[in-house]
Structure 1
Amino acid sequence: MTPTRLIAAACVAGLWLLLCLWAWRRARRQETQQARALQALDAPVPVDTLLVAYATQTGYAESLAEQTADSLRAGGLTVRVAALDQLDVARLAAYRRMLFVASTYGEGDPPDAAAAFSDQMLPAGPGEAARCAPALAGAQYAVLALGDSEYANFCGFGHRLDEWLHAQGAVPLFDLVEVDNGDPAALRHWQHHLGLLAGRSDLPDWQAPAYQPWRLASRKRLNPDSQGGPCYLLTLTPPADVDSTWQAGDIAEVGPRREAGGPLHAHREYSIASLPEDGAIQLLVRQMRGADGALGLGSGWLTHIARPGDPIDLRVRVNRNFHAPADGRPLILVGNGTGLAGLRALIKARRAAGHRRNWLVFGERNAAHDWFCGDEIAAWQRDGTLERVDAVFSRDQAERRYVQHHLREQADAVRAWAGDGAAIYVCGSLQGMAGGVDVALQDILGDARLQAMQRDGRYRRDVY
């Protein structure tokens, strides 16, 4: 072999050895990082630590988990972030609150790295289930499910994880959020819930909505002399050059300002109370004030600062999970306060479609002051759009009564409607009402039946 070839061979061998050394050191570094991560997970969990877990195929879920953790830390929360493959039921049981960012790979499969955890999610046999108490009883959770609607089993792994957590006794902090191909509107909805968890209404949007300049056409107070905060019906008209469409159940994302012409702040979400055929978006907005008396950012902008004729930055977000049933199945609509907005749009859609078997259960404070849209609802009952209307006013008797109490009292009727194929739609406050209604429906219908209705799209919620 010539000297030139010897030198070339030596160079190749040297490069190969360097590559082997680099690969070995990289593997050792990854092993060390994983060992440290596991050690951190096995360390005692400080009280109120919130776990953010992710299952990723490409790294996208991990980056969203880190953004989620950063948003929560901005609100002063203590957060741990971990990959799902580092976790098991025993580690999860150490946390009282957990958020999961879960990708779906292919036709409903977990990401490769989460396959081992997925194996833990296999249902227990009847005998085993009877012997074992739920491992996560008392814990709270939420799931951000990432997927691609081109696949039949859209967000399949996220839904399986959600159902498994519920079966383990955990209670949803809020409903699962589906993200189709990184949809920024769905991610903003997730951020909305993070803001509520963190107690921060000023968390910046990860990606600001592309607003359109709507106009505040009118604003009418619905509850003069009410014990509660002022509630207004707002009418907003679209720009002349925009063909705005939406469906009952969709959401208006509004960019609030502290003064007319001032800078935009993080978006606020409001259920749309009207249909495109009405020619305008209508919102029901309660004016909120902090402990110091300061106006809430979103409600203050819409109910006090903005004047009729002023531009309102607005974008419609599709909310497929709360669209009206396509067929004429019976519909039970349950809500309180400004949650009537989403239910009002659904009733309008059912009326337009000629679907008349609708039962409204609505709760507020006093019949004399808080029967929002009462004349309209009475007219719908007279013309047969609403087969049944039950209003529950919590302050009109010595003992407080809410919509969940009324549902329990009407348990036989709820079971009869559900037996006829009814869907149940709930809109309103997450704290108190939505949780109370969920527990009542579990007791009335049974947990397994209610979960089956949720899987079949017959139990839907728009709660905030």
Structure 2
Amino acid sequence: QHSVGQALGAAAGPDWTPPAYETWRLAERTLANPGSPGGEAWRLTLEPIGALPAWAAGDIAEIGPPGDPAPAAREYSVASIPADGRVELLVRLMRRPDGTPGLASGWLAHDLAPGGEVPMRLRANRAFHGPAAATPMILIGNGTGLAGLRAHLKARAADPAQGGAWLLFGERTAAHDSFYDAELQAWRASGVLARLDRCFSRDAGDGRYVQALVAEAADDIRAWVDRGAAIYVCGSLEGMSQAVHAALEDALGADRLADLLETGRYRRDVY
């Protein structure tokens, strides 16, 4: 709406106001998947210039990339919790058809200097907030969607009353795309993760996508749901989310899955 108004030379309407960004700085940037056959994925750490705001696992970082006129904000799942004292993101470098980097991801991944300022605000995403700590969670995702699921795992790790979690995750190669591997293994050892299932679509002898993990574990998913588990899906809208939804329908039945959606026990943050 705002972009159309700009193109027509109209003033911003009363129902739209530009985001009120706070100023953050880039504290750290690390390539998370060197050697991957997929696009670059970067781990970014951002620290506030002022006071640390509050947010919850599942919330969204809105970042204003540079440009005149100001481009639309880009949204990224927050991979950290306030107890970390910083916002962590996992950003995929997007490429235009001609191979040049995307405006926002190219700036964040390549052009922004360490210590450089980032206009950002944290937006509540209540539709992806976690359930009560005692509720078991089935977390399903692919690619950089692991960021949003990681925040939920961090929140669970900090709560002794947590009811256990199960992560099903898909990426390209185990050697290059096992994001947050040491952390996930530590959570598996400590019991924060009751179960960890991963697949890698480009690896010889595997070749599966995350929806295949869901199909293979249908009996166990039904058992978890029977004892009250909530299902959270984060990652690609195209392909992954539809395929996972279909696999969950096969595992649970369309009516039961619809009931979980209606009662807030099946939540998705897909893009």
TM-score, shorter chain, exceeding 0.5: yes
SS at match of 1:434: helix
Runs of 4+ in 1 over 4 A off after TM superposition: none
Which of these residues, 264, 281, 286, is aligned with residue 87 of structure 2? 281
The AA in structure 2 aligned to 1:220 is: T
1:344, 1:398 → 2: CA distance?
A: 27
Amino acid at match of 1:329: T
Query: In structure 2, which of residues 213, 235, 239 is the aligned counterpart of residue 406 of structure 1?
Result: 213
8 Å Cα contact 2:41-2:90 kept in structure 1 = yes
Matched, 1:222 2:32: yes
Q: CA RMSD in A?
A: 1.7
Aligned equivalent of 2:43: 233
| Partner Cα distance (1:286, 1:269) in 2 | 12
Q: Deviations over 1:334-353 (max 9, x none)?
A: 00000000000000111112
Deviations along 1:239-287, one digit per CA (max 9) or x if unpaired, are 22x34110000000000126xxx76311000000000110100000011
Shift of 1:324: 1.0
Match of 1:387, SS? Answer: strand
Cα distance in structure 2, aligned partners of 1:217 and 1:399: 37
Q: CA offsets per residue over residues 392-446 of structure 1, 9 Å max, x none?
A: 1011136731111111011101111111110000000000111100111111111
Q: Does 1:388 align with 2:195?
A: yes
Which position in structure 2 is the counterpart of 1:437?
244
Structure 2 residue aligned with 1:348: 154
Measure, in 2, the Cα distance between the counterparts of 1:214 and 1:350. Answer: 26
Separation in 1, partners of 2:62, 2:254: 33
Name 1:246's counterpart in structure 2: 55
Q: Is 1:304–2:126 an aligned residue pair?
A: no
SS of 1:413's equivalent in the other structure is helix
Partner of 2:222: 415
Measured in 2, the distance between the counterparts of 1:243 and 1:217 equals 14
CA–CA distance in structure 1, aligned partners of residues 73 and 143 of structure 2: 21
CA distance 1:373–1:327, shift in 2 (3 Å): closer
For residue 389 of structure 1, report the CA deviation from its aligned partner: 0.2
Is the contact made by 1:273 and 1:344 (CA closer than 8 Å) also made in structure 2? yes
Q: Secondary structure at the match of 1:265?
A: coil
CA distance in 2, matches of 1:257, 1:292: 21
Preserved CA contact (<8 Å) 1:339 1:427: yes
Aligned mates of 2:248, 2:204 — CA distance in 1: 24
CA contact (8 A) 1:236 1:281 kept: yes
TM-score (norm 1): 0.54
Q: Deviations over 1:144-183 (max 9, x none)?
A: xxxxxxxxxxxxxxxxxxxxxxxxxxxxxxxxxxxxxxxx
User: 2: distance between equivalents of 1:274 and 1:399?
Assistant: 30
Query: What is the distance in 1 between the residues matched to 2:135 and 2:243?
Result: 25
Deviation by residue 1:308-355 (Cα, 9 ceiling, x = unmatched): 100000011100011111231111000000000000000011111221
Cα distance in 1 for residues equivalent to 2:189 and 2:212: 26
Q: Does the CA contact (< 8 Å) of 1:356 and 1:386 recur in 2?
A: no
Instruction: Map 1:353-368 onto structure 2 (within 5 A).
Output: 353-354=159-160, 355-368=162-175
The equivalent residue for 1:425 is: 232
Residue 367 (structure 1) shift? 0.2
* Counterparts of 1:282 and 1:243, CA distance in 2: 13
Amino acid across the alignment from 1:315: R
Name the SS for the 1:370 alignment partner. Answer: coil
SS at match of 1:404: helix
Q: Which residue of 2 aligns with 1:28?
A: none
- Distance in 1, Cα, partners of 2:175 & 2:250: 32
TM-score by length of 2: 0.92
Q: What is the SS of the residue equivalent to 1:298?
A: helix
1:211 matched to which residue of 2?
21
1:322 is aligned to 128
Determine which structure has greater relative contact order: mean sequence separation of CA pairs < 8 Å that are 6+ residues apart, divided by chain length: 2
Q: Aligned residue for 2:140? A: 334
| CA displacement, residues 205-256 of structure 1 (integer Å, 9 cap, x when unaligned) | x53210011101110111111001111110000122x341100000000001
- What are structure 2's unaligned runs of at least 5 residues? 8-14
CA distance in 1, matches of 2:198, 2:205: 17
Alpha carbons of 1:221 and 1:356: their partners in 2 closer, same or farther (altered >3 Å)? farther
Instruction: Please point out which of 264, 270, 277 is paired with 2:70.
Output: 264
Q: 1:384 to 1:398 in 2, by over 3 A?
A: closer
* SS of alignment partner, residue 158 of structure 2: helix
Q: Distance in 2 between matches of 1:222 and 1:303?
A: 11
Paired residue type of 1:364: E
**Can you give the 5+ residue segments of structure 1 that lack an aligned partner in the other structure?**
1-66, 75-183, 185-205
How many percent of aligned residue pairs carry the same amino acid?
55
